[in-house]
Structure 1
Amino acid sequence: MIAIIDYGVGNLKSVYKALNNLGLQAVIATTNQEIHNSAAVILPGVGAFKDAIIQLSDSGLIKGLTKSVAAGKPVLGICLGMQLLFDKSFEDGEFQGLGFLKGEIHRFEEGLKVPHMGWNHLKKNIDDPIGRGLTDEEYVYFVHSYYLKTCQPKDVVYWCNYGTDFPAIVRRDNIIGMQFHPEKSGKTGIQLLKNFGEMIG
């Protein structure tokens, strides 16, 4: 069972539907018990970092998420959910993230149209099971104005370019982040979610 964390911010139904289409059991989790009972966790997210981290904190579900990370369960952050996994964001101020991964979230540089919205190319950095079955010509769907600027380069599985190179997929042990929306990224996104499902022990 995969727990999709519902903290009031996220594209839950499309993620749930994509997992079900792959034959992966999922639950939209609103309690720590549901997270505890799961074999893997997805942290979705849309909107502003500040609002999301406040709502996630107010929901009380950070406890279940933190325990899942510590227990070695596969944990996937999608779009804003990926950004929340890191140390801090400078979106409309400076706000602390969950700190599961080292890095900072910054706005795209002046002169670029934001949000960065639409299909863009993945560029492989390292071989990793999360990218199994992908070719060098994969495109995925992005909607974001902020990106992971400072991070551990060895954590980057795939890069993307929008005025500058930025991490599109990151992984450190059991923690994975995807800056794009796999549930909206056609066959490529489905393959990535399938690979995530295969990480579940």
Structure 2
Amino acid sequence: MNRSSVALFDYGSGNLRSAFRALERAGADVSLTSDLDAARRADGLVVPGVGAYAACMEGVLAHGLDAVIRERAAAGAPVLGICVGEQVLFAEGVEHGVRTRGVGVFEGRVDLLDAPRVPHMGWNTVAADEGMRLFAGIDPAERFYFVHSYAAKTRPPGALAAVCEHGGPFIAAVERGPVAATQFHPEKSGDAGYALLSNWIKGLK
């Protein structure tokens, strides 16, 4: 049986090594690439991201990745965003009073967590909407690994979402049509993360 092809896009900001290994373990034929045509052709495109929203968007725009993400979303071709790779899929992010336009696949804004302690770092549970493909067969008591200070707080219209609590509720994962994303790091989330990535890969073909 052929393995689904996944393009893990290197635009200068991402936890690439562990994401590459985790996607391979979950059953994908993974290529690490900065080539837009490869990103278009792959069965699945993964958009990683660590650090600041504005810096990640600068890399996305410099490589022309924003256009490919929107093309894939419009064509029904799967995309998975991870951590800041999730955040940049939203319409905008606000950090330190600076507003940065995002890719805009999802409506909404990424803001500082409303919590007495940031960053939110460590393991936490999420409450996923019924029918989310990412969480199929995953026990609701499973924990996922987070490290972030900012997050989207409202679900985009027509999307399914998983919500986590840290000071207040925020979007821990979201999926609508071909586009899915997680604020947590599935590649650092042990067996639960493996199950989630496996679910995503199974849906590529």
What TM-score range do you get, normalising by the shorter chain?
over 0.9
Which residue of 12, 22, 40 corresponds with 2:44?
40
1:100 matched to which residue of 2?
105
Say if 2:6 is the partner of 1:2: yes
Alignment of 1:1-201 (within 5 A): 1-92=5-96, 93-109=98-114, 112-152=116-156, 154-201=158-205
Question: Secondary structure at 1:76's aligned position in 2?
Answer: strand
> Separation in 1 of the partners of 2:166 and 2:38?
38
Q: For 1:137, what is the secondary structure of its paired residue?
A: coil
* Structure 1 position 155, deviation (Å): 2.0
Q: How far apart, CA to CA, are the structure 1 residues paired with 2:199 and 2:71? A: 23
TM-score by length of 1: 0.95
Q: How many residues align?
A: 200
| Contact kept? 1:31, 1:61, Cα under 8 Å | no
In 2, the alpha carbon distance for the partners of 1:150 and 1:160 equals 12
Q: Give SS of 2:67's match.
A: helix
Write the distance in 2 (CA, Å) between the matches of 1:124 and 1:97.
Answer: 24
In structure 2, distance between residues paired with 1:44 and 1:156:
21
- What are the ranges of 5 or more consecutive residues in structure 1 without an aligned counterpart? none
Structure 2 gaps, min length 5: none
CA contact (8 A) 1:123 1:136 kept: yes
Shift of 1:146: 0.3
Alpha-carbon shift at residue 154 of structure 1 (Å):
4.9
CA distance in 2, matches of 1:154, 1:58: 30
Give the 4+ runs in structure 1 shifted more than 4 A: none
Distance (whole Å) between structure 2 residues aligned to residue 75 and residue 81 of structure 1: 10
**Separation in 2 of the partners of 1:116 and 1:156?**
23
4-13 or 127-136, which moves further after superposition?
Answer: 127-136
Q: Given that residues 126 and 158 in structure 1 are in contact (C-alpha distance below 8 angstroms), is that contact kept between their aligned partners in structure 2? A: no
- Alignment partners' CA distance in 2, 1:123 and 1:63: 32
Per-residue CA distance 1:117-143 (angstroms, 9 max, x = gap): 000011123222221111121100000
